[in-house]
Amino acid sequence: MKRQHQELAAGRWFELSLVGQLGNIGSEVERAIRWRAKGNADYARRAFERALELLELSIADSKNRTRLKELTRLREGLVDYFCFDNLYGSSDESWRKYFHSFAYAAAIHRGA
């Protein structure tokens, strides 16, 4: 998988709070959901790969070490939903609800 977020991986990602990181991950997940609903599997896959890349950066971020269990479970759930048999019973709506609060909190923090 080719790295899509070169600038973020170079260090900028680690300046964001966990809430900001999860808000950005959620944006990519939302794109994947929308592209899949439109029947564009290639764009959906690309958005999902970008979400995974950002999630891996969050997992590698030392300030998030107390949240590793949640972050690795999140990765497990997303991979199950988008790539496997959805054993956890996730839905588009459940992912939207999970990530919405992070996007909202990040927007408040930015003053948007």
Read off the pLDDT band of 2 (50, 70, 90): low
Looking at residues 15-42, what average pLDDT do you find? Answer: 97
Confidence of residue 5 (pLDDT cuts 50, 70, 90): low
Tens of pLDDT, residue by residue over 73-97, are 999 999 999 999 999 999 999 999 9
Q: Which of 110, 20, 24 is nearest to 63 (CA)?
A: 20
17 and 109 Cβ atoms separated by less than 8 Å: yes
The C-alpha atoms of residue 24 and residue 56 are separated, in whole angstroms, by 13
| CA neighbor of 32 nearest in space, from 57, 8, 4 | 4
Closest among 29, 107, 108 to 74, alpha carbons compared: 29
